[in-house]
Amino acid sequence: MTTPHHEQISAFMAEVAAQNPNEAEFIQAVQEVAETVIPFIANHPKYTEHRILERMVEPERILMFRVPWTNDAGEVQVNKGYRIEFNSAIGPYKGGLRFHPTVNLSVLKFLGFEQVFKNSLTTLPMGGGKGGSNFNPKGKSDNEVMRFCQSFMTELARHIGPNTDVPAGDIGVGGREIGYMFGQYKRLRNEFTGVLTGKGLNWGGSLIRPEATGYGAVYFAAEMLESQGQNFEGKRVAISGSGNVAQYAAEKCTQMGAKVITMSDSSGYIHEPNGLSEDQLSWIQDLKNVRRGRISEFAEAYPSATFHAGERPWGVACEAAFPCATQNELNESEAKGLIANGCIVVAEGANMPSTPEAIEAFQAAKVLFAPGKASNAGGVATSGLEMSQNSLRMNWSRQEVDERLLNIMKDIHAQCVSYGTDDSGYVDYVKGANIAGFVKVADAMIDQGVV
Ligand code: NDP
């Protein structure tokens, strides 16, 4: 891609690539930021003088540790554990834990880097961090998951705390895992504090936290549509994933009058041309959260739906798309297919699900495109609200948290519009999110000196 400052961008990226070899995902995430932030910095020399971007790509601290545990057969297992404390300029490190076999340093560094910008956009005082393990919870018994979580937390507990670093969930880490980790932290430290978010409601959790990422992504997309005088009524929506984010994105789309026609997991996608009913969505929630089954079972239970093994849902005609599974799950040819089929709005529920070429295609076609760091920020924002409630030792009502979430998403949308609108009136939400997220963190770093 040729941008006005491509020489500076190339030089900067060459250095990042040399310093972080074999970290393709991290380099991809930095490249996206560099392309939009370096031209901005060129007009704001204080950021160059203080070498802010050079400092921001270097995590403040990386923790890597061994996680030994025993399976139900009594055999010793070992996994890798990580926590990346990326940037604490505007608050304690905050970000999820991912348990998935694909987890490595590059994946967690990309997630941690994006988290810094995302958390800044939420308007709440949270720095950025991310962590996890290459542990695969799939197919493990509850007792195995518990023993793994206890071992993982036995090391992590030394490094986190309600004013230091507050992890949450992500892929493979839901209410069950947060519960086991919270229990072990409490036992080790002998204190009941808001050290994790995504907790159960009767032990410090916040209403709306499970729903927040999916609901927030839909609130953001609704703002984008409204800016064009449109809404979700009657629109066909393609969603990927069937986990936490996907389920609640589907629920909110349906509540707003849209027809959710696809959901997926790593084995393929289901197509329900009539749009998922409330009952069907509850069926999927039970399948995924309780029975822990595969999405293909949906098409066996409901003959109106079809299952497409090994495929992603982007070939289906729709007006809106929410990629809510994982990184790089929507490529250039899939983006062009969506555009050709009439898709006008894409809001990322997952982190970095669209490849750089896909984003370029959406923007060239003037599709309303929201990057995850803006559109999925509702999850961490509500985690921030959970932290506030824990500090105050109070519980806000469902309506109160939902209203705050809606207002935060509107605020993030406004920040993107403010920094991302071009001369023709088209909003480059990638540019807007990157620059708005950058400015707050960068100014705080300048104020705090060379640390
Ligand atoms: P879950 O573990 O609840 O669900 C993940 C979903 O994505 C599952 O349907 C899973 O299918 C699918 N998936 C995971 N990995 C792959 C893969 N490699 N290929 C195809 N499908 C895959 O995770 P979440 O819903 O919490 O997270 C989804 C995305 O949203 C992630 O990118 C996460 O970082 C992001 N996110 C999550 C937030 C949250 O609050 N939870 C906040 C902000 C962003 P299967 O079951 O077959 O593995």
Task: Report how far ligand 1's centroid is from the alpha carbon of 339 (Å).
Answer: 24
Atom of ligand 1 nearest to the CA of 118: 43
First to last CA, the chain: 34
Atom of ligand 1 nearest to the CA of 168: 40
**Residue environment code for 299-329, b if the CB has 16+ CB neighbours within 10 A, otherwise e:** beebeebebbeeebbbbbebbbbbbbbbbbb
Nearest Cα residue to atom 20 of ligand 1: 266
Domain ranges of the chain: 6-56, 61-191, 212-375
Neighbour tally for 228: CB within 10 Å: 10
pLDDT at 192: 96
Which of 116, 176, 266 gets mutated to test ligand 1 (max ligand atoms within 8 A of its CB)? 266
pLDDT at 284: 98
Question: How is residue 358 written in tokens?
Answer: 């896909």
SS3 label, residue 42: helix
Active-site annotation holds for 130: yes
Q: What is the mean pLDDT of residues 290-310?
A: 97
The binding-site residues of ligand 1, defined as CB within 6 angstroms of any ligand atom, are: 169-172, 213, 241-246, 265-267, 324-326, 349-351, 376, 379
Nearest Cα residue to atom 46 of ligand 1: 265
Nearest Cα residue to atom 44 of ligand 1: 350
pLDDT in tens, 364-392: 999 999 999 999 999 999 999 999 999 99
Task: Report how far ligand 1's centroid is from the alpha carbon of 11 (Å).
Answer: 34
Q: How far apart are CA 109 and CA 212, in angstroms?
A: 23
pLDDT at 308: 98
Counting every residue, how long is the chain?
A: 451
pLDDT over threshold 60, residue 1: no
pLDDT at 2: 53
Q: What is the mean pLDDT of residues 286-295?
A: 96
Which of 110, 126, 134, 171 gets mutated to test ligand 1 (max ligand atoms within 8 A of its CB)? 171
The CA angle 251-254-260, to the nearest 5 degrees, is 95
Q: In what order do the strands lie in the sheet with 320-323?
A: 306-309, 268-271, 259-265, 236-240, 320-323, 345-347, 368-370
Q: What is the mean pLDDT of residues 95-111?
A: 98
* β-sheet bridge partners, residue 271: 262, 306
Q: Could you tell me how far CA 20 lies from the centroid of its own chain?
A: 23
pLDDT at 3: 59
Q: Tokens 């970290």 appear where?
A: 23
Whole-number Cα distances in Å, 180 to 28, 79, 143, 177: 34, 17, 10, 5
Nearest Cα residue to atom 22 of ligand 1: 266
* β-sheet bridge partners, residue 161: 165
CATH superfamily of 61-191: Leucine Dehydrogenase, chain A, domain 1 (3.40.50.10860)
Residue 5 burial (CB < 10 Å; 0-12/13-18/19+)? middle
Indicate the pTM of the whole model: 0.97
Task: Report how far ligand 1's centroid is from the alpha carbon of 32 (Å).
Answer: 21
Task: Report how far ligand 1's centroid is from the alpha carbon of 217 (Å).
Answer: 14
Answer whether 61-191 and 212-375 agree in fold.
yes
Which of 170, 178, 208 gets mutated to test ligand 1 (max ligand atoms within 8 A of its CB)? 170
> Around 108, how many Cα atoms within 13 Å sit in the side-chain half-sphere?
29
Atom of ligand 1 nearest to the CA of 242: 9
Task: Report how far ligand 1's centroid is from the alpha carbon of 350 (Å).
Answer: 7
- The residue annotated as part of the active site, out of 94, 109, 118, 130, is 130
Q: How far apart are CA 295 and CA 338, in angstroms?
A: 22
Q: Which of 407, 354, 411, 404 is nearest to 383 (CA)?
A: 404
Helix axes 429-447, 398-420, angle to 10 degrees: 100
Backbone phi and psi for residue 346, each to the nearest 5 degrees, phi listed first: -130, 120
Q: How far apart are CA 182 and CA 176, in angstroms?
A: 10
Q: What is the mean pLDDT of the chain?
A: 97
Q: What is the mean pLDDT of residues 441-445?
A: 98
CB-based contact 121:412 (threshold 8 Å):
yes
Task: Report how far ligand 1's centroid is from the alpha carbon of 171 (Å).
Answer: 5
Q: Which of 126, 182, 168 is nearest to 379 (CA)?
A: 168
Whole-number Cα distances in Å, 291 to 71, 267, 288, 300, 394: 21, 17, 6, 15, 33
pLDDT confidence bin for 324, thresholds 50/70/90: very high
The residues, ordered by sequence, that sit 6+ positions from 83 with a Cβ below 8 Å of its Cβ are: 62, 63, 129, 130, 131, 156, 159, 160, 165, 167
Atom of ligand 1 nearest to the CA of 102: 18
Sheet strands (E) in 324-399? 345-347, 368-370
pLDDT at 281: 98
Q: What is the mean pLDDT of residues 174-195?
A: 97
Nearest Cα residue to atom 38 of ligand 1: 170
Atom of ligand 1 nearest to the CA of 245: 25
pLDDT in tens, 55-98: 999 999 999 999 999 999 999 999 999 999 999 999 999 999 99
Nearest Cα residue to atom 35 of ligand 1: 350
pLDDT in tens, 142-171: 999 999 999 999 999 999 999 999 999 999
Atom of ligand 1 nearest to the CA of 263: 9
CATH number of 212-375: 3.40.50.720
Question: How is residue 110 written in tokens?
Answer: 């990309």
CB-based contact 299:305 (threshold 8 Å):
yes
Task: Report how far ligand 1's centroid is from the alpha carbon of 428 (Å).
Answer: 25
Task: Provide, rounded to the nearest whole percent, the portion of the chain with pLDDT above 70.
Answer: 99
Q: How does DSSP classify residue 229?
A: T
Q: What is the mean pLDDT of residues 20-45?
A: 97
Nearest Cα residue to atom 23 of ligand 1: 171
Residue 1 burial (CB < 10 Å; 0-12/13-18/19+)? exposed
pLDDT in tens, 228-276: 999 999 999 999 999 999 999 999 999 999 999 999 999 999 999 999 9
Task: Report how far ligand 1's centroid is from the alpha carbon of 13 (Å).
Answer: 28
